[in-house]
Amino acid sequence: MRKFVGERAKRLIANNTIASVVKLNQYQTSSTLSSSNNCCNRSHLPRLNSPLNSHLRCYSVMASKGSKTAPVTLETLNPKVLECEYAVRGEIVSIAQKLQQDLQTNPGSKPFNEILYCNIGNPQALGQKPITFFREVLALCDNPSLLDKRETNGLFSSDSIARAIMVLDQMPGRATGAYSHSQGIKGLRDTIAAGIKARDGYPADPDDIFLTDGASPGVHMMMQLLIRSEKDGILCPIPQYPLYSASIALHGGTLVRYYLDEATGWGLEVSELKKQLEAARQKGITVRALVAINPGNPTGQVLAEENQRQIVEFCKKEGLVLLADEVYQENIYAADKKFNSFKKICRSMGYGDIPLVSFQSVSKGYHGECGKRGGYMEVTGFSTEVRQQFYKLASVNLCSNISGQILASLVMSPPKVGDESYDSYFSERDGILKSLARRAKKLEDAFNSLEGVTCNKAEGAMYLFPRIQLPNKAIKAAEEAKKAADAYYAIRLLNSTGIVVVPGTGFGQVPGTWHFRCTILPQEDKIPAIVSRLTDFHKKFMNEFRG
């Protein structure tokens, strides 16, 4: 009889019929199946013609006809996943990808011949060439056998060969396919620490550096460490890069918004920080950290040194961890602006004990190596006991990818004067940055020429965040379409021109205002087409909804 029940259970499992299992459980009471006293007493087991077997046969027939209960539904998913959103790869991109497929299968079917992705900071996807020195070192590290070939000296610069040998000597097994220390290869962290010291004028400890797969995993790690429940809050700028709101939601915390001042070029006012901090505390929220994005994303502002000092004082006084997103530190376009790391500001003020986490990435800057997933976070001002928890979390992920680790070290230690690659490296770097500055200016001017559109200057980063005054009729049409007004505008723009921008609602904005984020990354020869298409669309859109 036990054999019969076992075979029946196997068939149920094979049919993947949840309903059958549930029905079976109704008969498998603790007195008949769980009690050890009944283990040797077969009288409790069902007979062949019992009601249980009748039900089993019935549900087996139903299963064979394809009737079953889905094991996973939206209602049974983690609600934190449902809550989080990431606009830069959201609905607008799904529509763009569908349009791109339509163009491939049916050329000429749209009023445009290509999709222009201005939604995400992904430089090489839009035609930017990688830095030669970086790729030469990576190629030699990935294939060390090239170092033994005579032809290599004619194909690679002498300093890329020397750097590759140095990097390989620091790696376990001299292989990019091997795991490293969980914080990253020690020799590469030494190089990064030296680069930070050269940048800031203050020493850096390689043991404070955690190499990561881009900046995003570092942000997730910090949220995982800081957030205990929905009663823990993180102060974030609005507009903000949606990684922060998504990560806070995923880890079950509360997003505490502080608004940047668009009228002053997206200024960060400490009075606003104080206001939002007090409001959160009155609601019973324990604010754990402050996020500062410098240069700004999506807003493109560069913080003044005095403003940074005020932010540091605020964090020290209020006992907040300062999370400094500095991934665009090389992207500075305004002649009167300069990047200063928050670590440099803290040290210049004599504060070495403020809990500070600084994020850097190889995805942004002039390098644009998004697909290599390299970056690091420098962690200072934490106790030894807390640092051990950082390391534990890093260990769970084993290590970040090795190519990204190598790139992070190269970014912080590029060719020096006298190196064979020095001139070509700086020519490539400066060429990219100057071109980005020109593109930013052209797009900024184009936006400001449109009716009802105002756009602050892009002082840094890779984006413009113009504000658009939409006619009431357009807002009403958006409501009828169950869309936010800026999302409605962005979708109409995409369907008419092939230009992909991200609605301001994805980043947050002052209620009642509408924006969209546009990257400055399309190559310069594409900018005139973007400006022309955007201008024509905007005129038609405003004429349609003006009345």
Domain containing residue 165: CATH number: 1.10.287.1970
At 160, phi and psi to the nearest 5? -70, -35
| HEC profile of 478-516 | HHHCCCCHHHHHHHHHHHHHCEECEEHHHCCCCCCCCEE
- Say whether pLDDT at 328 is over 50: yes
Whether residues 104 and 77 fall in one domain: no
Structural domain total, the chain: 4
Whether residues 491 and 508 fall in one domain: yes
Contact 409, 171 (CB under 8 A): no
d(CA 230, CA 254): 5
- Say whether pLDDT at 291 is over 70: yes
Is residue 438 in some structural domain? yes
Both ends of the chain: CA-CA distance in Å?
81
Domain containing residue 442: CATH number: 3.90.1150.10
Whether residues 139 and 69 fall in one domain: no
d(CA 34, CA 461): 63
Whether residues 377 and 441 fall in one domain: no
CA-atom Rg of the chain in angstroms: 29
pLDDT recorded at residue 67: 52
Is residue 127 in some structural domain? no
In the structure encoding, which two tokens stand for residue 166, read together?
């140095």
Compute CA 62 distance to the chain's CA centroid, rounded to the nearest angstrom. Answer: 45
Is residue 157 in some structural domain? yes
- pLDDT-derived band of residue 20, with 50, 70 and 90 as boundaries? very low
In the structure encoding, which two tokens stand for residue 64, read together?
């064979």
490 C-beta neighbours (distance < 10 Å), count: 29
At 8, phi and psi to the nearest 5? -60, -45
Contact 240, 463 (CB under 8 A): no
- pLDDT-derived band of residue 178, with 50, 70 and 90 as boundaries? confident
When comparing pLDDT for 120 and 478, which is higher? 478
Whether residues 77 and 98 fall in one domain: no
Is residue 143 in some structural domain? yes
Residue of 496, 540, 372, 446 whose CA lies nearest to 116: 496
Whether residues 325 and 381 fall in one domain: yes
Is residue 181 in some structural domain? no
Query: Is the N-terminal amide bond of 239 cis, ω within 30° of 0?
Result: yes
Whether residues 108 and 230 fall in one domain: no
Whether residues 320 and 369 fall in one domain: yes
Domain boundaries, position 310: 186-411
Residue-averaged pLDDT of the chain? 84
d(CA 372, CA 407): 8
pLDDT recorded at residue 87: 57
- pLDDT-derived band of residue 236, with 50, 70 and 90 as boundaries? very high
Domain containing residue 315: CATH number: 3.40.640.10
- pLDDT-derived band of residue 84, with 50, 70 and 90 as boundaries? low
pLDDT recorded at residue 88: 54
pLDDT recorded at residue 386: 86
pLDDT recorded at residue 52: 39
Whether residues 307 and 276 fall in one domain: yes
Whether residues 379 and 455 fall in one domain: no
- H helix intervals, 170-269: 186-200, 215-226, 243-250
Angle between the N-to-C axes of helices 402-412 and 186-200, in degrees from 0 to 180, rounded to the nearest 10: 30
Whether residues 388 and 449 fall in one domain: no
Digit-coded pLDDT (tens) for 37-52:
333 333 333 333 444 3
- H helix intervals, 28-131: 51-64, 79-83, 91-105
Query: Is the N-terminal amide bond of 466 cis, ω within 30° of 0?
Result: no
- pLDDT-derived band of residue 465, with 50, 70 and 90 as boundaries? very high
At 113, phi and psi to the nearest 5? -110, 0
State the average pLDDT over residues 247-258: 92
In the structure encoding, which two tokens stand for residue 521, read together?
């990354």
Domain ends where: 426, 460, 487?
Answer: 426
Domain ends where: 426, 456, 481?
Answer: 426
Is residue 282 in some structural domain? yes
Digit-coded pLDDT (tens) for 371-428:
888 999 999 999 988 888 888 888 788 888 889 999 999 999 999 999 999 999 999 9
Is residue 149 in some structural domain? yes
- Say whether pLDDT at 482 is over 70: yes
Is residue 52 in some structural domain? yes
Question: What are 543's strand-pairing partners?
Answer: none
Whether residues 276 and 333 fall in one domain: yes
Distance set, CA 63 to CA 68, 70, 146 (Å)? 6, 12, 59
Of all residues in the chain, what percent carry a pLDDT higher than 90? 54
- Say whether pLDDT at 277 is over 90: yes
DSSP-derived 3-state class of residue 280: helix
DSSP-derived 3-state class of residue 294: coil
Question: What are 212's strand-pairing partners?
Answer: 375
Domain ends where: 348, 377, 411?
Answer: 411
- Say whether pLDDT at 62 is over 80: no
Torsion-angle region of residue 122: left (phi > 0), alpha (psi -120 to 50) or beta? beta
Contact 332, 461 (CB under 8 A): no
Residues with Cβ within 8 Å of 296's Cβ and at least 6 positions away in sequence, in order, are 237, 260, 266, 302, 460, 461
In the structure encoding, which two tokens stand for residue 355, read together?
């809990």
d(CA 448, CA 534): 12
At 426, phi and psi to the nearest 5? -70, -30
Read off the pTM: 0.81
